[in-house]
Structure 1
Amino acid sequence: MGADTEVSGARTRPGVRRALPWLIVAFWVALIAVAGPFAGKLGDVQRDRAVDYLPANADSTQVAKIQDTLPGGESTDLVLVYHRDSGLTPADRATAGEQTAAIAGEHQLSAAPRGVPSEDGTTLMFAVSSTEPGQDEEVRAAFVGEIRETAKGGDGLSVEVGGPGALTVDAQEVYGSLGGPLLYTTVAVVAILLILIYRSPFLWLVPLVVAGMADFLSMAVAYGLNRGFDVTVSGQSSGVMTILVFGAGTDYALLIVARYREELGRHARPHDAMAAALRGCGPAVLASSGTVAAGLLCLMAADLNSSRGMGPVAAVGVLCALFAMTTLLPALLVVLGRRVFWPIVPAYGSVRERRRSLFAAMGGSAGRRPVAVLVSGGVLLGALSLGAFALPGDLRQENFFTSTPDSISAMATLGAAYPDSGTQPITVIAPTGRADEALAEARGTEGVLSAERGRGGGGWTELSVVPRDPAESAGEQATIEALRGALEGSHVGGPSAQQMDLEETNARDLKAVVPLVVLAVLLILVVLLRSLVAPLMLVAAVVAVWGASLGIAGLVFGPVLGFEGTDPGLPLLSFVFLVALGVDYGIFLMHRMREEALSGAGPTEAALTALRTTGAVIASAGLVLAATFGVLMSMPMVALAELGFVVAVGVLLDTFLVRTYLVTSASVALGRTVWWPGALSRKPPAAGPDVPREPELAATR
Structure 2
Amino acid sequence: MSGRDGRGPALAALAVVLGWLVVGALAGPYAGRLGEVATNDNAAFLPADAEATRARELAGGFVDRQTTPALVVYERTSGITDADRQRVATDAARFAEVPGVVGPVPPPIPSEDGQALQVVVPVDDAEGERIGTVVEELRDITSGDRDGLTVNVAGPAGLLADLIEVFSAIDGTLLIVTLCVVLVILLVVYRSPILWTFPLLSAGMSFALAAVLVHRLADADVITLNGQAQGILTVLVFGAGTDYALLLVARHREELHRHERPWDAMRTAWKGAAPAIIASGGTVILSLLCLLLSNVNSNRALGPVGAIGIAATLLVMLTFLPALLVLGGRWAFWPRRPRRDQADPRTENGIWRRVAGFVARRARRVWLVTALVLAAFAVGLTQLGATTLGQTDLFTQRTDSVAGQQAMARHYPAGTGSPATIFTSRQTAGQVAEVARGVPGVAAVRPVNGKRTGPPDPDAPPRVVDGRVQLEATLADPPDSDGAERTIRDLRAAVHQVPGSDSVVGGFTAINVDTADASRRDQNVIIPVVLVVIAIILALLLRAILTPVLLIATVLLSFAATLGLCALLFKYIFGFPGVDASFPLFAFVFLVALGIDYNIFLMSRVREESVRRGSRAGVLAGLAVTGGVITSAGIVLAATFSALAVLPLVVLVELGVAVALGVLIDTVVVRSLLVPALAYDIGPTIWWPGRLSRINGEREARDAR
Distance of 2:342 and 2:685 partners within structure 1: 38
Note the alpha carbon deviations across 1:401-427, whole angstroms, 9 max, x for none: 111111111111112233x55324334
Q: Matches of residues 299-448 of structure 1 in structure 2 within 5 Å? A: 299-349=291-341, 351=343, 354=347, 357-394=350-387, 395-418=389-412, 422-428=415-421, 430=423, 434=425, 437-438=428-429, 441-442=432-433, 444-445=435-436, 446-447=438-439, 448=442
Counterpart residue type for residue 614 of structure 1? T
Distance of 2:547 and 2:215 partners within structure 1: 38
Greater Cα offset, 220-229 or 659-668: 220-229
Is 1:67–1:73's contact at 8 Å kept on the other side of the alignment? Answer: no
Partner of 1:3: none
Partner of 1:616: 628
Note the alpha carbon deviations across 1:242-268, whole angstroms, 9 max, x for none: 111110110110011011111111111
The alpha-carbon distance between structure 1 residues 58 and 454, as it changes in their structure 2 partners (threshold 3 A), is farther
Is 1:390–1:555's contact at 8 Å kept on the other side of the alignment? Answer: yes
Corresponding position: 1:655 with 2:667: yes
Greater Cα offset, 320-329 or 441-450: 441-450
What is the CA distance between 1:625 and its match in structure 2?
Answer: 0.3
Distance of 2:27 and 2:313 partners within structure 1: 15
Partner of 1:146: 137
Distance of 2:248 and 2:62 partners within structure 1: 56
Greater Cα offset, 84-93 or 541-550: 84-93
Partner of 2:699: 687
Greater Cα offset, 282-291 or 421-430: 421-430
- The one of 575, 582, 585 aligned to 2:595: 582
Distance of 1:179 and 1:691 partners within structure 2: 60
What is the CA distance between 1:31 and its match in structure 2?
Answer: 2.7
Distance of 1:450 and 1:111 partners within structure 2: 23
Corresponding position: 1:602 with 2:614: yes
Distance of 1:355 and 1:475 partners within structure 2: 60
What is the CA distance between 1:514 and its match in structure 2?
Answer: 0.1
Is 1:582–1:651's contact at 8 Å kept on the other side of the alignment? Answer: yes
Distance of 2:296 and 2:286 partners within structure 1: 18
Distance of 1:106 and 1:229 partners within structure 2: 29
- The one of 535, 552, 569 aligned to 1:539: 552
Q: Matches of residues 639-650 of structure 1 in structure 2 within 5 Å? A: 639-650=651-662
Is 2:39–2:128's contact at 8 Å kept on the other side of the alignment? Answer: no
Counterpart residue type for residue 446 of structure 2? A
Is 2:70–2:122's contact at 8 Å kept on the other side of the alignment? Answer: yes
Partner of 1:96: 88
Note the alpha carbon deviations across 1:218-243, whole angstroms, 9 max, x for none: 01111233355621111111211111
Distance of 1:684 and 1:109 partners within structure 2: 76
Identity of aligned residues (%): 38
Greater Cα offset, 95-104 or 234-243: 95-104
TM value normalised by structure 2:
0.90
Give the superposed CA RMSD.
Answer: 2.7
The alpha-carbon distance between structure 1 residues 350 and 12, as it changes in their structure 2 partners (threshold 3 A), is closer
Note the alpha carbon deviations across 1:252-294, whole angstroms, 9 max, x for none: 1001101111111111111111101101111111111111111
The alpha-carbon distance between structure 1 residues 659 and 68, as it changes in their structure 2 partners (threshold 3 A), is farther
Distance of 2:661 and 2:18 partners within structure 1: 40
Counterpart residue type for residue 196 of structure 2? W
Q: Matches of residues 185-264 of structure 1 in structure 2 within 5 Å? A: 185-227=177-219, 230-264=222-256
Partner of 1:630: 642
SS at match of 1:492: strand
Partner of 2:453: none
Partner of 1:113: 106
What is the CA distance between 1:685 and its match in structure 2?
Answer: 7.9
Is 2:642–2:657's contact at 8 Å kept on the other side of the alignment? Answer: yes
Greater Cα offset, 458-467 or 619-628: 458-467
What is the CA distance between 1:13 and its match in structure 2?
Answer: 10
Note the alpha carbon deviations across 1:430-455, whole angstroms, 9 max, x for none: 37xx3574476235412440223167
The alpha-carbon distance between structure 1 residues 159 and 602, as it changes in their structure 2 partners (threshold 3 A), is same
Aligned residue pairs total 678
Q: Matches of residues 449-528 of structure 1 in structure 2 within 5 Å? A: 449-453=444-448, 463-473=471-481, 476-485=484-493, 486=495, 488-528=501-541
Partner of 1:124: 117
Counterpart residue type for residue 126 of structure 1? V
Runs (4+) off by over 6 Å = 455-458, 689-692
Counterpart residue type for residue 475 of structure 2? P
Counterpart residue type for residue 618 of structure 2? A
Note the alpha carbon deviations across 1:293-351, whole angstroms, 9 max, x for none: 11111111111111111011101111111111110001011112211111111122264
Distance of 1:93 and 1:324 partners within structure 2: 62
Counterpart residue type for residue 671 of structure 1? G
Distance of 1:71 and 1:13 partners within structure 2: 77
Is 1:67–1:75's contact at 8 Å kept on the other side of the alignment? Answer: no
Is 2:246–2:629's contact at 8 Å kept on the other side of the alignment? Answer: yes
Note the alpha carbon deviations across 1:171-224, whole angstroms, 9 max, x for none: 112112222111100000000000000000111011101110110000111123
Distance of 1:421 and 1:233 partners within structure 2: 32
SS at match of 1:636: coil
Distance of 1:125 and 1:174 partners within structure 2: 26
Distance of 1:151 and 1:10 partners within structure 2: 73
Distance of 1:481 and 1:533 partners within structure 2: 46
Gaps of 5+ in 1: 1-8, 693-701
Counterpart residue type for residue 550 of structure 1? L
Distance of 1:23 and 1:296 partners within structure 2: 33
The alpha-carbon distance between structure 1 residues 12 and 620, as it changes in their structure 2 partners (threshold 3 A), is closer
What is the CA distance between 1:146 and its match in structure 2?
Answer: 2.4
Greater Cα offset, 77-86 or 185-194: 77-86
SS at match of 1:682: helix
SS at match of 2:580: coil
Distance of 2:40 and 2:465 partners within structure 1: 26
Is 2:225–2:301's contact at 8 Å kept on the other side of the alignment? Answer: yes
Distance of 1:68 and 1:329 partners within structure 2: 53
The alpha-carbon distance between structure 1 residues 226 and 115, as it changes in their structure 2 partners (threshold 3 A), is closer
Greater Cα offset, 76-85 or 262-271: 76-85
Counterpart residue type for residue 492 of structure 2? R
Counterpart residue type for residue 148 of structure 1? R
Note the alpha carbon deviations across 1:658-692, whole angstroms, 9 max, x for none: 00110011101111111110111114586357999
Distance of 1:247 and 1:665 partners within structure 2: 28
SS at match of 1:135: helix
Note the alpha carbon deviations across 1:519-568, whole angstroms, 9 max, x for none: 00000000111111110111111111111111111111122122223111
Greater Cα offset, 19-28 or 574-583: 19-28
Distance of 2:407 and 2:597 partners within structure 1: 48
Note the alpha carbon deviations across 1:440-499, whole angstroms, 9 max, x for none: 623541244022316789958654332344434555334423443426545422221122
Distance of 1:683 and 1:145 partners within structure 2: 71
Greater Cα offset, 374-383 or 56-65: 56-65
Is 1:426–1:492's contact at 8 Å kept on the other side of the alignment? Answer: no
The alpha-carbon distance between structure 1 residues 639 and 40, as it changes in their structure 2 partners (threshold 3 A), is closer
